[in-house]
Structure 1
């Protein structure tokens, strides 16, 4: 198995998932229902290659991928995870991300993990369910069957906020 190929393919699929999320977030912003942004990765440039590219290193561990606010003022934070496998493992969320999600959840923010399984299913798993995965499902992963209750519709966009109480402040 060529690890570099798999790593590139996974990165490309992850970027595709982020593009899908970005289109969804633009939709909610245009409707005035939410303003949610991608959290920038903390990195430092170590070498300019002189051709418009550079080499960089991460300066600290990653925070959850998205943070923002729903209309009405409630904070929202979520991590996005893509996998080509038939299940998503609990440990794909780092300890640093867990800490942030716990902190926000303790302040009553909407916290969840947005999952894309094999490019075809999109799921919004509440943080409380994610962290209690072992107790809820008997193992520290979720299959498509376990995820089914958390599926979000995909029409022209992935309606990742459908089912959350949103307030129209216009």
Structure 2
């Protein structure tokens, strides 16, 4: 995916964040990229250097109106599948840790033409659930979200179906690991 397509996807997520803020549903902000100002120029511009050694954080963090934190990464591809390894190890670890505290965690994806919010419990267990480390556009449709001029990542097209899917898969994982 080229940078302009990724930037458009991110702008649509930001529009979703603005909608949720306006409606009092959530306050979610984009995490700034780790960079250092090398030189300030008189016209207000600056030369910056991305900090290669800093671990990249997840793209978005905030709080929902029910007092739960929300943390998620955004990924887009024109391919028909999204590979689990698109998350860095630092992002994977961060989503895992936030999830342990009860935060809403996930990966907001655009796979070809399907926008979806994949709960991190599904993302992190792709190998168990799908028997491979990627999710197809068709499989992501269960997590599809509304996209009228913005990515409404909290508005699943079929919330009941998502809940049932997650419950079923978690039950299967617990059973496979001998917890049930």
- TM-score calculated relative to the size of structure 1: 0.84
| Bigger RCO (CA 8 Å, 6+ sep) | 1
- Is the partner of 2:152 in helix, strand or coil? coil
Superposed CA RMSD in Å reads 1.7
Which residue in the other structure is 1:149 paired with?
142
Measured in 1, the distance between the counterparts of 2:40 and 2:23 equals 40
- Is the partner of 1:161 in helix, strand or coil? strand
- TM-score calculated relative to the size of structure 2: 0.80
1:27 aligns with 2:19: yes
State the aligned residue count. 155
Q: How does 1:19-168 map to 2 (within 5 A)?
A: 19-48=11-40, 52-58=45-51, 60-118=54-112, 120-163=113-156
Distance apart, 1:24 and its partner CA: 0.7
Question: Could you list the runs of 5+ residues in structure 2 that have no partner in the other structure?
Answer: 160-180
Question: Could you list the runs of 5+ residues in structure 1 that have no partner in the other structure?
Answer: 1-8, 165-170
Measured in 2, the distance between the counterparts of 1:142 and 1:47 equals 43
- Is the partner of 1:44 in helix, strand or coil? strand
Measured in 2, the distance between the counterparts of 1:90 and 1:133 equals 7
